[in-house]
Structure 1
Amino acid sequence: MTIWHRLHDLVCGEGRQCMPGEADAPLSAALRQEEYEALRLSIGLRLIACLVIAVLLTIELHWPLVLNYYGYIAALAASGYVQLVVRRPALKQPWMDWAFPLVDMGILVAGIVLPNPLDPNPLPPPMHLGFDTVLDLVLFVVLAGLGQSARVMLFSTLAAVLAWAAGTLYVVSQPGVTFHSFTDNLIDITTPERLAYLLDPWNVRVGEFIPRLVLIGLIGMILTVGVLRSRHLIARQLEAERARRNLSRHFSPHIAETLAQMDDPLGQVKQLEAVVLFADLVSFTQLADDLSPQQTVALLRDVHQRLARAVAEHRGTLDKYLGDGIMASFGTPEPGPRDASAALLSARCMLREIEALNQQRKLLRQSPLTLAIGLHYGPLTLGNIGDESRVEYALIGETVNVAHRLEQMTRALGTPICVSQAFVDKLAEETRGDLTCLRDLVALQPQAIRGLRDHMVIWIQQRAAPFASDSGAPEAAPTIH
């Protein structure tokens, strides 16, 4: 385990699983993009800081002494622009993480310690290290912390420490400059001697040099820890978003959102009234006997995609795939104002999708597909079933069974759609009694439904039956014995 990983474990406390590796390309790419967006913010603030520093220097130094420092400020601004160009996610290379901090800190320290060629009366070199000039380095270290990269933050800190140390050694190497501190106890030194030492313009005090390096290092390390925490939280957020997307592949988006917000593994049980839809291909088993396994799976994927799209376009919830069919609900996990209308539109859309598929199959001289659909409205119980290690979000209740029975009855009744009277009543409630949308359906006398004690009035769509009158009144219900 490297020092870098140990530092991450110490700060984040949850191991390195939130630090994406090369195998986790999408998460790594997302983090690189986030780093670049943060870099843009950092460079923007750098330009503002450079402008402010230029204004302050102009007020303090006047013309023409300030021209020397305009060059350093322009160099820092140019370095920021170059970083925006070359540190894009697609172009960035590892060497950039340490090269640019060295360049930036080098420019800063050079502007601080090098003599101003336009100054006819230069100050002693050690005085360049005063006037709180070290804060300029601290400012750029803080700006590096906005880049959301702990490595860049750490390299910027090391670059600031090395650049300040190099600049101090350069000053010490100038003629007439001394570099020493008190060797005696301060109690034994008189006040005049102490003042003479502190005010000596040609002496670089060890007692100031080392604490400044330590200060830069401490500020940089604290910011590095902060960036690590921030990066850790970003990684967890991206992981949660990816988990939510993966969850939506197994559940409808509505259900996935509900599951993602659950703190309890089994969640709460909910009771409501909704529409349940079953759709299934008729005689698909016989059709599959003439197909290879690859052809069978390809056909099922095509059918499932079409049926799922019909559900999603009408804000339904795809609850599960059932071999060659699906189970969907409308009004879960929260009821809507037009759940029955949406379910009927979805059912008709499914039939159009299968008809479009049959047109393609006809050109290939393949057998047509027949879709059977059952719809029922009634009370449901929603909740997770299973245990804490594996759960399944399920719809439970007699409504589910009735919808399934209606779908199965379409074979004997010779109809693609079979709906219950309860569904029609709900549709009438939503449309304020306007049942024009059911003009191609007819009501049958009460039928026996397997599993139910009482008979039920059902409505069916006759494949070749003429539409009802424009008034929307259904035709006389035929008797089915």
Structure 2
Amino acid sequence: MQLWQLLRDQVCGEGHKTSPDAADHRLAQAIQQEEYQALRLAISLRTLVLAAVTVLLTVELRWPLALSLYCYLAILAVSGWVQLWLRRPDRERPWMHWAFPMIDMTVLVAGIVLPNPFDPYPLPPPMQLGFDTILYVVLFLVLSGLGQSARIVFFSTVAAIVAWTAGTLFILWQPGVHLGYSFDNLATMDAAERTRYILDPWSVRLGEFTPRLILLAMIGLLMTVSVIRSRHLAARQVEAERARRNLSRHFSPHIAAQIAQMDDTLGQVKQLDAVVMFADLVGFTRISDHRPPAETVAMLRDVHGCLSRAVADSRGTLDKYLGDGIMASFGTPESGPHDASAALQAARTMLHGIEALNTRRQQQGQPVLQLAIGLHYGPLTLGNIGDESRVEYALIGETVNIAHRLEQMTRDLKAQVCLSQGFIDKLTAETRGDPGILRDMVMLKAQAIRGLRDRMAVWVLPQAGVTGDAGAQPQQPTIH
């Protein structure tokens, strides 16, 4: 039933809600464009085939017998390019799906069965149906399949059957031609009777005519099903790719790829060590309160674009937008050997991006923006939360809370970036103790962080104009 439904949808153009290539208007347009490109290829190959047939007939028939056939071949060539011109996506009409196949098959069969005016010694008309001339009809049937249109293949099959039948009837109407049929088993005839029956040049044998029509129908049906199947698979691939792109708009590409491969709705829970980053604008409410809504949204788009590009360039995962900031992770969904280094590079890229953005804003008389970033490395739990109707991919654990607290601490510490000791330990291990990576960082004394029992040593990148000696542990206010 499913095959019959697909066949009906593709050939008749019905069943719009179930046809895979009509799932929506954009998908139908995309497939229509691909169908036109396939038609262009089919017409080009058709022209090459006609050129090859022209050479073949010239060698076999010689001049002037081949002259009559040149006319039919020229008509077929012109018909192909007219089809390509008329069947552009913006001007194609339903009648073209059956009209052009009928024209092609009629011209082709006419070239086979009509008398050659340049032949001084014509053969008996039934012999025109021999010499494997039906293979030319099959050849054009195959060429129709290259257009990737099930309707064209189906109507080409119908046109081939109708044209071949009409051509055979035309031969039967010629003087001296008769229909040859035998109700006796050929095996019961002696050799002479069988030879006379088979080789009678004035006989159109029913035993040859019927199997040829059946073979044409079978070949056409199989090709129609093949085209439908290929279009169905192409439509599913387009749908899958579109779904993957839609996921990428809501999730980082790494997470989107993992979600797309999930069989279970909620998926599996994973635990690993990774870097969590929080980046947020300082004083956003104060800035946005006195700005038009359109200007505020435009500013947020600029900031989000800057931050998300920095995360993507460092192969991080953008987990979510948080109003005027973001939450990102490095080392999810799979840990890597340079997660901390990538996170610090992303933080520096963000600061440079905001600096460039501030240059433009100052030129436009707008207030400058200040970015605060917190980074922590530690254990995380990854997985979907929610229910069967709606899920959200989430990072859970104390590491997330600490990274958020570090970002908030930058205000009182007069810092742009605040790093935990756990992050520094991971970074040191990755860089093998390279001191240059922390050249502009300042190590502070252990700080009290809300939600943690023990104090934690932190490193900061001071704001412009704030100085300190790295590792000297200058006195700073303690955060409670």
What's the TM-score, normalizing by structure 1? 0.87
Correspondence 1:474 to 2:467: no
Q: Give the whole-Å Cα distance in 2 for the aligned partners of 1:435 and 1:156.
A: 75
Q: Give the whole-Å Cα distance in 1 for the aligned partners of 2:463 and 2:242.
A: 45
- Contact 1:440–1:465 (Cα < 8 Å) also in 2: no
Match of 1:322 in 2: 322
Where does the alignment leave 5 or more consecutive residues of structure 1 unmatched? none
- Contact 2:418–2:458 (Cα < 8 Å) also in 1: yes
Q: Give the whole-Å Cα distance in 2 for the aligned partners of 1:283 and 1:428.
A: 33
Match of 1:104 in 2: 104
Letter in 2 for 1:202: W
Q: Give the whole-Å Cα distance in 2 for the aligned partners of 1:456 and 1:156.
A: 78
User: Counterparts in 2 of 1:360-439, with a 5 A limit?
Assistant: 360-439=360-439
- Residue by residue over 1:82-107, the C-alpha shift from the partner in whole angstroms, topping out at 9 and shown as x without a partner, is 44455444554444323332232123
Q: Give the whole-Å Cα distance in 2 for the aligned partners of 1:456 and 1:8.
A: 70
- Contact 1:113–1:125 (Cα < 8 Å) also in 2: yes
- Contact 1:277–1:343 (Cα < 8 Å) also in 2: yes
Q: Give the whole-Å Cα distance in 2 for the aligned partners of 1:336 and 1:17.
A: 44
Letter in 2 for 1:98: W
- Contact 1:8–1:15 (Cα < 8 Å) also in 2: no
CA shift, 1:251, in A, is 0.4
CA shift, 1:81, in A, is 4.3
- Contact 1:372–1:407 (Cα < 8 Å) also in 2: yes
- Residue by residue over 1:381-430, the C-alpha shift from the partner in whole angstroms, topping out at 9 and shown as x without a partner, is 22222233322222222221111110111122121211112222222233
Q: Give the whole-Å Cα distance in 1 for the aligned partners of 2:7 and 2:26.
A: 24
CA shift, 1:166, in A, is 2.2
SS of the equivalent of 1:369 reads coil
Q: Closer, same or farther in 2 for the Cα pair 1:305/1:8, shift >3 Å?
A: farther
Q: Give the whole-Å Cα distance in 1 for the aligned partners of 2:251 and 2:129.
A: 64
CA shift, 1:145, in A, is 1.6
Q: Give the whole-Å Cα distance in 2 for the aligned partners of 1:351 and 1:56.
A: 72
User: Counterparts in 2 of 1:41-440, with a 5 A limit?
Assistant: 41-54=41-54, 56-90=56-90, 92-179=92-179, 181-182=181-182, 196-440=196-440
- Contact 2:410–2:418 (Cα < 8 Å) also in 1: yes
Where does the alignment leave 5 or more consecutive residues of structure 2 unmatched? none
CA shift, 1:71, in A, is 4.1
CA shift, 1:205, in A, is 3.1
- Contact 1:440–1:466 (Cα < 8 Å) also in 2: no
- Contact 2:177–2:203 (Cα < 8 Å) also in 1: yes
- Residue by residue over 1:110-143, the C-alpha shift from the partner in whole angstroms, topping out at 9 and shown as x without a partner, is 2211222232211111111122222221221122
- Contact 1:178–1:202 (Cα < 8 Å) also in 2: yes
CA shift, 1:236, in A, is 0.6
CA shift, 1:347, in A, is 1.4
Q: Give the whole-Å Cα distance in 1 for the aligned partners of 2:300 and 2:180.
A: 84
What's the TM-score, normalizing by structure 2? 0.87
Q: Closer, same or farther in 2 for the Cα pair 1:467/1:119, shift >3 Å?
A: farther
Q: Give the whole-Å Cα distance in 2 for the aligned partners of 1:341 and 1:158.
A: 67
Q: Give the whole-Å Cα distance in 1 for the aligned partners of 2:42 and 2:328.
A: 49
Match of 1:460 in 2: 460
CA shift, 1:75, in A, is 4.0
User: Larger deviation: 303-312 or 120-129?
Assistant: 303-312
- Contact 1:405–1:450 (Cα < 8 Å) also in 2: yes
- What value does the CA root-mean-square deviation take over the aligned residues? 3.1
Match of 2:20 in 1: 19
Q: Give the whole-Å Cα distance in 1 for the aligned partners of 2:143 and 2:33.
A: 18
Q: Give the whole-Å Cα distance in 2 for the aligned partners of 1:455 and 1:187.
A: 104
